[in-house]
Amino acid sequence: MTVEQQFSTVRTDISGHLIQDLVMKFGTPTYVYDAQTVRDRIEQLRQFDVIRYAQKANSNIGVLDLVRKNGVVVDAVSSGEVFRAVSAGFDYDGEPDPIVYTADIFDREALDLVVEKGIHVNVGSPDMIEQYGQRVPGGEITLRINPGFGHGHSAKTNTGGESSKHGIWHEQLEDCLALAAKFDVSVTGLHMHIGSGTDFEHLSQVCDAMLQTALRVGDTIKMISAGGGLPTPYRDSDVGLDVDRYYQLWNRTRKQLEAGFGHAVSLEIEPGRFLVAESGFLLTEIRAIKKMGRNLFYLVDAGFNNLARPILYGAYHPMSIAFKGEPTHETQDVIVGGPLCESGDIFTQQEGGFVCSRELPVATVGDYLVIECAGAYGYVMSSNYNSKPFSAEVLIDGDKTHLIRKRQSPADLIRGEVIPD
Ligand SMILES: *Cc1c(COP(=O)(O)O)cnc(C)c1O
């Protein structure tokens, strides 16, 4: 089978901005995001009544500002994410709710904030209903339901079924409704974040579970949310999502509910990865090339402190070389690693930590290596391990480049630390 090549292993620019120029201006390692790609993905989802960005995928306030200006609202999973949203210009109040707090617990700070600011809550445990009800009797909530089945193989990414910690177990629905009623709290929304990917048979099971659950709750329901989990391509063989078909399935469920309840039901989608993954590039410089027996390593100046998906999930990212000097036309199999004193600091690895190689152009020290499709769950999972500073982040918008986060300085690394006297 031949697949169309969507990822090239040679790159000169990002949206017309030469890699060389970006590196001169911002250094490496640096995350670069292309605003137009984010806008394009938003447009693809316009059929949904509400696009709620799961900001945990990339919560830089420059990115939040971009999505806000394009009519997108946000999800927040912590009080810190609420603070980010407000800093990026989102209001507490509005229709639809500009910020929704979604979690399986309230830490004390989040509960205080939600109560004080009147933030709508998507509740993921019976204890949250109790804690919310005591503080906001007569309020309105959304329930996140675990329908009893999930999708995906990894315990780290599966969001439904018995081994998932997320949401309210479907068989506890009636208990939760009774608990809410005790505080005069009404359930106005239902949410399922299962992540069917491109498996439409599975998706229709999720839609069916949503329909049945909503009918059990009754006509207080004004909103259903399809959650996130929309896939994006990371390899040439990955097929893009048929957004229209995805929408049609959910829209049918919504229409059935509207017919049953006799009032409008709003349909939300809650993508993280889908909006930002393809917009992002991690620019690195190759600092050493060395042989280890039969293996050849390209060692770059970014590590899993900058991008953790490969070591966490064995995630695959496309990579390309931007030549500083003379371009070559030959390729070779290489292992790509970072600078950390940790043998797992390898970008070319599979789940389970198995190191693998990648066919990339023959490069020399000083050339740039670009890790692509890195806009989601990239920067946000950064750490200061090995006392490496957080990278810079840059937003490209047309012919402009904006530094949306400065690289950390050495002083930033020890900020807040104290030597006892
Ligand atoms: C993480 C998350 C999302 C987004 O998931 P993606 O796979 O990035 O689309 C949406 N909703 C909730 C509640 C989440 O926790």
229 CA from centroid of ligand 1 (Å)? 6
Tokens 């006799």 -> residue: 262
User: Is 60 exceeded by the pLDDT of residue 3?
Assistant: no
pLDDT tens, position by position, 61-92: 999 999 999 999 999 999 999 999 999 999 99
Tens of pLDDT along 308-331? 999 999 999 999 999 998 899 999
Give pLDDT, residue 262: 98
Give dist(CA 383, CA 365) in Å, integer: 26
Atom of ligand 1 nearest to the CA of 102: 13
Count the Cβ atoms, other than its own, within 10 Å of residue 138.
Answer: 9
Q: How far apart are CA 286 and CA 338, in angstroms?
A: 9
Nearest atom, ligand 1, residue 230 CA: 9
88 C-alpha to ligand 1 centroid (Å): 20
**CA-CA-CA-CA torsion for 87, 92, 94, 100, nearest 10 degrees?**
90
Q: Would you say 193 and 159 are in contact if contact means Cβ atoms under 8 Å apart?
A: yes
* Pick from 281, 244, 276: nearest CA to 7: 281
The DSSP H or E segment spanning 99 is: strand 99-103
Tell me the sheet residues that pair with 333: 359
Specify the residue with its C-alpha closest to ligand 1, atom 10.
228
Element (H, E) at 313: helix 309-313
Decide if pLDDT at 294 tops 70: yes
Question: What is the average pLDDT across 23-29?
Answer: 98
Tell me the mean pLDDT in the region 150-162.
73
Residue 309, classed as helix, strand or coil, is helix
| Degrees, nearest 5: CA angle 132-133-138 | 120
b (16+ CB within 10 A) / e for 29-53: bbbbbbbebbbebbebbeebebbbb
CA of 270 to the centre of ligand 1 (A): 7
Q: Which residue has the tokens 């974040």?
A: 193
Whether residue 176 lies in the annotated active site = no
Q: Say if residue 42's pLDDT is above 80.
A: yes
Lowest average pLDDT, out of 190-199, 251-260, 406-415, goes to 190-199
210-247 burial, b at 16+ Cβ within 10 Å, e below that, comes to: bbebbeebeeebbbbbbbbbbbbbbeeebeebebeebb
Max alpha carbon distance in the chain (Å)?
Answer: 72
State pLDDT tens for residues 371-406. Answer: 999 999 999 999 999 999 999 999 999 999 999 999
Task: Determine what percent of the chain is predicted with pLDDT higher than 70.
Answer: 97
Q: Which amino acid is at 98?
A: P
Neighbours of 287 (CB within 10 A): 15
Q: Tell which atom from ligand 1 comes closest to the C-alpha of 57.
A: 8
Averaged pLDDT, 244-252: 97
Atom of ligand 1 nearest to the CA of 274: 9
Say what the pLDDT of residue 1 is. 42
Phi-psi region of 370 (alpha: psi -120 to 50; beta: other; left: phi over 0): beta
Bridging pattern class, strands 358-361 and 368-372: unpaired
Q: Write down the mean pLDDT value for the chain.
A: 95
CA of 241 to the centre of ligand 1 (A): 16
CA distances from 94 to 52, 56, 120, 212, 331 (A): 13, 21, 10, 29, 54
Nearest to 404 by CA among 21, 79, 65: 65
Q: Which residues line ligand 1 (CB under 6 A)?
A: 54, 56-57, 75, 102, 193, 195, 227-230, 270-274, 376
| 191-233 residue pLDDT tens | 999 877 788 999 999 999 999 999 999 999 999 999 999 999 9
pLDDT of res. 197: 77
Q: Which of 176, 207, 341, 356 is catalytic?
A: 341
Q: What is the CA(342)–ligand 1 centre distance, in A?
A: 30
Rounded Cα distance between 284 and 313, Å, is: 21
What's 224's DSSP letter?
A: E
Q: In this model, does residue 125 exceed pLDDT 90?
A: yes
